[in-house]
C-alpha cells in the first residue's frame, strides 16, 4: 500500500513564481526585463471560467440555454491574474499607455505575437501544457 503522507498539504512542493522574458522591447541595462508570473489555484481558475461564461439560448429550442465560455476573455483574465511583475494595476503604468484597466494595459503593451506567446506561457505555468504521457513517464522515474 502506498504511503499517503506524500499527498499531505505540507509535503506538496510549492509552485514557485517564474521569471520569463515576454518581450525583447522592454530593456534595462541592455537586457530584456523579465516578467514575474505566478500560478493560481483550481478554485481561482473555476471563478475565472465562471466569470467568462454566459448562458446562451439554443437556436430553435425555446427556453433551452447552454453555457458558453469566452475563452479569449478567460485567457486575458488568467494572464492578468497571474502577472506579478510588472504590476498591471499600477495607475502610472496604465496612464503611460492611456488605458484604464489591467486587461487593456496588457494588450496595449504587447505586440500580437508577444501577447499570444505570453498567454501560452501563462497556461504552461498553470499546468495546461502537461500531457498525460509526460505525467505517466515522470511517475515511472
Please name which of 131, 128, 105, 100 lies closest in space to residue 22, comparing C-alpha atoms.
Answer: 105
Q: Which CATH class is domain 17-129?
A: alpha beta
C-alpha cell at 106: 496588457
**Which residues touch 90 (CB under 8 Å, ≥6 apart)?**
none
pLDDT over threshold 80, residue 1:
no
Domain boundaries, the chain: 17-129
Which pLDDT tens digit goes with each residue over 15-42?
899 999 999 999 999 999 999 999 999 9
Query: What is the per-residue pLDDT across 78-135, written as a single tens digit (0 to 9) for each?
Result: 999 999 999 999 999 999 999 999 999 999 999 999 999 999 999 999 998 755 455 4
How high is the pLDDT of residue 28? Answer: 94
pTM: 0.81
The answer to whether residues 119 and 75 touch, using CB atoms and an 8 Å cutoff, is yes
Amino acid at each position: 500500500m502506498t504511503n499517503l503522507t506524500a499527498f499531505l498539504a505540507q509535503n506538496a512542493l510549492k509552485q514557485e513564481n517564474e521569471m520569463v522574458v515576454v518581450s525583447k522591447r522592454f530593456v534595462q541595462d541592455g537586457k530584456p526585463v523579465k516578467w514575474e508570473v505566478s500560478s493560481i489555484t483550481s478554485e481561482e481558475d473555476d471563478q475565472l471560467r465562471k466569470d467568462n461564461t454566459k448562458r446562451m439560448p439554443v437556436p430553435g429550442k425555446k427556453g433551452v440555454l447552454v453555457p458558453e465560455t469566452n475563452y479569449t476573455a478567460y485567457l486575458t483574465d488568467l494572464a492578468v491574474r497571474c502577472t506579478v511583475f510588472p504590476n498591471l494595476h499600477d495607475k502610472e503604468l496604465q496612464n503611460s499607455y492611456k488605458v484604464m484597466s489591467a486587461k487593456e494595459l496588457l494588450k496595449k503593451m504587447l505586440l500580437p505575437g508577444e501577447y499570444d506567446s505570453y498567454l501560452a506561457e501563462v497556461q504552461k505555468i498553470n499546468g495546461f501544457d502537461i500531457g498525460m504521457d509526460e505525467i505517466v513517464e515522470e511517475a515511472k522515474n
